[in-house]
Amino acid sequence: MSILPLSVFRLHCQATTTGKIHTSNQTDLTLVKTVMPNPIVQTGHPVLRAEARELTRDEIKSAEIRELIEIMREVMRAAPGVGLAAPQIGESLRIAVIEDEAGEKTKMSEEELNLRERYPVPFHVLINPILTNIGDEKVDFFEGCLSVTGFAANVARYREVNVRALNEKGEEISIDAKGWYARILQHEIDHLNGILYIDRMYSTTFSTVENKARYWDALDRAKPSPE
């Protein structure tokens, strides 16, 4: 692994969200401007198409992995996004971070949030996750990706899933999720297997974010609410 200093990622996040960089460390400033124009790699980068490797428990407890997780959290929040997989910042490791505030930042009405079964999900870490669908029901909604900037498409995902994984302490965890949370989990774990949502999308719905809002959002709002 080659992980850039956390201070550099923090400065990049600061620049992304405020347009300004405040630092007295000239080395960090140079890295932000030259080495790291954007910490999130975009489609076409080979790391997004590789199957990420598992981590050992000893690796999980290392300072390097703790720092990587902190970097991932800050990059995800700065983007902003609801999930981020390690390959998206160039690290081919089976780690994902998840957090969905599902509030005002989404700019969705309560009706739209309920339609997606989208509720707040606190920050957590998944390492070496194994996903299993619960039942066969799938739901269609548009989704985007921080590694496919500016686009979105309709993707069918399982409504309910189970994920078994290790947390940042190396402890075993099991999660049952449905609705939007289940969609996030499927999306991020796909990243760890070299899969992007564009591999699963209905190709005729692939749109710029602007055209999605203009032509497709009204159709989403017309869907019946889940029972």
Q: Which residues are catalytic?
A: 188
* 213, two tokens: 């809002």
Q: Contact at 8 Å (CB) between 68 and 86?
A: yes
CB neighbour class for 19 (10 Å; exposed up to 12, middle 13-18, buried from 19): exposed
At residue 210, the 3 state secondary structure works out as helix
Amino acid at 157: R
DSSP H helix total and E strand total for the chain: 8, 8
* 85, two tokens: 């997989």
Residues with Cβ within 8 Å of residue 134, at least 6 apart in sequence: 158, 160, 161, 162, 176, 178
Whether the CA torsion 174, 178, 181, 182 is positive or negative: it is positive
SS3 assignment for 32-54:
HHHHCCCCCCCCCCHHHHCCCEC
Largest Cα–Cα separation, the chain: 56
Residues with Cβ within 8 Å of residue 42, at least 6 apart in sequence: 147, 148, 149
